Amino acid sequence: MNKLKRYIIFLIGLFINSLGVSLITKASLGTSPISSIPYVLSLNFPFTLGNFTIVFSVLLIVLQILILRNNFKMENLLQLPVSVVFGYFIDLTMIMLTFVNPDTYVMKVIDLLIGCLILGFGVYMEVLANVVMLPGESFVRAVTDTWHTEFGITKIIFDCSMAVGAIILSLVFKHSVEGVREGTIIAALLVGFIARTIGRWLEPVKPMIFPEEFKEAEGEATIGDANSKVVNATNGAEAVNSAEKAVGGVETQAGVTDCREVLTAGILARSGANVIAIGRQYGSGGHEIGKMIAQKLGYEFYDEELIQMTAGTTGYTPEFIREKEEMMTNSLIYDLVNHMYNYSSEYDTPKDKIYEAENKLITELAEKGNCVIVGRCADYMLRNNKNCLRVFLQASQESRIKRVMERENLPEHEAKQKVQKEDRWRADNYRYYTRQIWGASANYQVTLDTDLGYEYVCDMICGDKSNL
């Protein structure tokens, strides 16, 4: 039943995909890269775009056989009927869109953008179904598997090659360039981005579509009354007041009823947790305080250690992971490479691969308990872990700049720039993977200002070890 559901979703996605390709083509600003060669051929021979799409797909399947040889799986022959169906879908949608003949450049651009949106959604559905890849993407996979290249980069090279090939054919037959224009570039840039964005937005829908593949979620994490509240401490008096609101005289596991006794025992004792996930502003002392807490409690401490452990599972170097793990760049080239991975459910972007590896690692470490984990969206990863206390450490920008100046021997203006840049990267990274706001109190059970002093913050969390 599940398999049938996946094939139905795939066929729907295939039709939507063909509708997007046809609308992009009808915009007359160039077609998508993968369709550019069939489109140019259709302009010069008495066969349809769908016909040439089928022929070109068969050629790509043959090339896969030659490249993979004994590694070509029989199941990959499913590309053949899929290509035939896709070709006829294109011809059908081209007929359906006969009325679409934009006569102004603005209308052409609008049709192109709508086509990219539709095509992106179709790509998302195909990847969601995860049953078979179209020949173009499967060819790229064959190349990456054989010569061990990066999927994203290889996909870009493949798309560029298709566009160049179409230009050459057009020059040979028409002595002018037809079928490859600015729309081809726009489609190459936008479709992957759209598919990726839709995938993130609709991630919660996947368990609804394939409930049998997802375990029943454990009950809501309840770590005690105080653990479901947010303790914001900016000074001693406010800490007491916040604790009073958090515990409200409700008896704890240790029988503590007075808020001052709770603060003496420490927030950790009140929560009953044995895992601490620390989010932190850059320069707030998250690493140092996390290490102090671990030493005081006799817990394992994980920060930079996670980089080495992740390197062992991903094959990436520690230096590569350190550069990528919490950095979210807005670089166009970087995004373009990443978006190309949307065409294959079997490949993750390097950054996504690092995140997934760290997610698995952090989850396993938390299951063992008695540990402190710093950064890497650990608070989000462990949000349903009833034994985890989620803490966010902040400080004034002035004090953070001062710490960075002293720690990294930087002048004030460079330290300020670095603090702002690192915070922006961490916020973007957190929002990208969690769809939550980094540092928002609702995402944490405890928010503490480290300007109170490292020892004070440590004691707020740990309390007197004899009481634990």
Q: What is the pLDDT of residues 186-196, one digit of tens each?
A: 998 888 878 87
Instruction: Give mean pLDDT, residues 262-274.
Output: 73
- What is the per-residue pLDDT for 210? 81
328 Cβ neighbours under 8 A, 6+ residues apart? 425, 428, 429, 432
Query: Which tokens hold the place of 455?
Result: 């020892």
Burial class (CB in 10 A: 0-12, 13-18, 19+), 21: buried
Residue with tokens 């969206």: 377
- What is the per-residue pLDDT for 109? 96
Domain 226-467 has CATH 3.40.50.300: yes
State which H helix or E strand residue 449 sits in: strand 446-449
**Is the confidence at residue 216, as pLDDT, over 80?**
no
- What is the per-residue pLDDT for 420? 92
Residue 122's φ and ψ, nearest 5 degrees, are -65, -40
**Is the confidence at residue 233, as pLDDT, over 50?**
no
Contact yes or no for 445/229 (Cβ under 8 A): yes
- What is the per-residue pLDDT for 184? 92
3-state secondary structure string, 362-382?
Answer: HHHHHHHCCEEEECCCHHHHC
Residues of the chain with CATH 3.40.50.300: 226-467
- What is the per-residue pLDDT for 214? 57
pTM: 0.59
Q: Which of 18-27, 155-164, 257-266 comes out lowest in average pLDDT?
A: 257-266
CA distances from 208 to 127, 130, 198 (A): 16, 16, 16
Q: What is the pLDDT of residues 338-385, one digit of tens each?
A: 555 555 555 567 788 888 899 999 999 999 999 999 999 999 999 999
Give dist(CA 463, CA 263) in Å, integer: 7
**Is the confidence at residue 282, as pLDDT, over 90?**
yes
CB atoms within 10 A of CB 319: 10
Closest alpha carbon to 229 in 265, 275, 262, 264: 262
Give dist(CA 367, CA 274) in Å, integer: 10
For the chain, give the mean pLDDT.
83
Cα torsion 252, 254, 255, 259: sign: negative
Instruction: Give mean pLDDT, residues 102-125.
Output: 94
Q: What is the pLDDT of residues 10-38, one digit of tens each?
A: 999 999 999 999 999 999 999 989 899 99
